[in-house]
Amino acid sequence: MAAADYGTPHHLLPPTYKRMVSAWLEEDCPSFDYGGFVVGEEVKEARLLGKSPGMVAGVPFFDEVFRQLDCTVAWHIREGESFEPVKHCATVRGPIRKILLGERVALNTLARCSGIATK
């Protein structure tokens, strides 16, 4: 059977995953957003680069982090797909303040999931 014969990765998520992402953001975000104060609300793009060989995993969590922060994510690689460095995996677009707010949570989650999938 090919991977296309199965459901999507979203089918594996617990029903509470959106609440989990909210809790992670709440835990990670400071009470005062000093960085956001400095960079402001200008709409910018951030590029997610794969810097070592691996497999992408955790896309639904990454997407949800930025969805909750009113940003968009355009993927250039699919969940479960392997890549070689340096691969432009995704582009995040939105207010720079919000990209910075979600960056650590999104990258930590994606790195953990991708590391496990790669191993």
CATH superfamily of 3-118: Quinolinate phosphoribosyl transferase, N-terminal domain (3.90.1170.20)
Do the Cβ atoms of 97 and 33 come closer than 8 Å? yes
Instruction: Note the pLDDT tens digit of each residue in 20-46.
Output: 999 999 998 877 777 788 888 999 999
For residue 3, what pLDDT is reported?
Answer: 54
Domain ranges in the chain are 3-118
Residue owning tokens 């992408």: 56
Q: Reduce the DSSP state of residue 7 to 3 states and report it.
A: coil
Tell me how far apart the alpha carbons of residues 59 and 48 are, in angstroms, rounded to a whole number.
12
pLDDT digits (tens, 9 = 90+) for 1-14: 555 567 777 788 88
Mean pLDDT of 58-83: 96
87 pairs with which residues across the strands?
50
